[in-house]
Structure 1
Amino acid sequence: MPVNIQVSSTPNENALKFTLDKPALESGHKTYPNAEAAAESPVATALFGIDGVVSVFLMADFITVTKRPDVGWDVIQPAAEGAIQKAYE
């Protein structure tokens, strides 16, 4: 069953919050500042595969993705939603 995702803005214009209808992480929280650090997380690894993503934060039922200021959300948001969907299939 596909995961339902709600996207909302954050106080940081370069970050979006993707809220899931299932746990993003079993417990605690994880911050991934780069692709190398994200190697343990399939969803974070997939998100770092999107050009312009600079950090990924997972906690409870949401994922926050932060991008470079020079890359638009029109490119990153659909790719991020697709990566999250695929990671939680």
Structure 2
Amino acid sequence: MTDSDIQITVEGTPNPHAAKFVMDRDIPGEGSRSYFDPESAAEDPLAARLFEVDGVRALLIVENFITVTKTATLDWPDLLDEIEETILKALGTLT
């Protein structure tokens, strides 16, 4: 799998500080998982890379989507491209 063939759709959630990044395929890894800080995500390459994005506060990874919760101090337009790019790069290296 290369990052160029993964399609991501971003959907809103009831929480204005969370967005759902839906992939056109399942995400590699062990089932659903949640992380609330970089330390808890250290063993998950995808989650660890997402926590490197400034403003990412929590992650929920399930089957084919990632719900990203951001800090209240940053706006989605400032984060969307960087989060999508990080997901694509991480998934391109996970397989």
* Fold shared per TM-score above 0.5: yes
Per-residue CA distance 1:8-37 (angstroms, 9 max, x = gap):
000000000000112124453100110011
* 2:33 paired with 1:30: yes
* 2:56 paired with 1:53: yes
Per-residue CA distance 1:54-83 (angstroms, 9 max, x = gap):
001100100000001111111211110000
Q: Matched residue of 2:41: which SS?
A: helix
Aligned residue pair count: 89
Percent of paired sites with the same residue: 37
* 2:7 paired with 1:16: no
The letter of the residue matching 1:70 is T
Provide runs of 4+ in structure 1 moved above 4 Å: none
For structure 2, the residue ranges without an aligned partner over 5 or more in a row are none
Q: Matched residue of 2:42: which SS?
A: helix
Could you state the TM-score of these two structures normalised by the residue count of structure 1? 0.93
For structure 1, the residue ranges without an aligned partner over 5 or more in a row are none
* 2:76 paired with 1:73: yes
Q: Is the 8 A contact 1:30 1:59 kept in 2?
A: yes
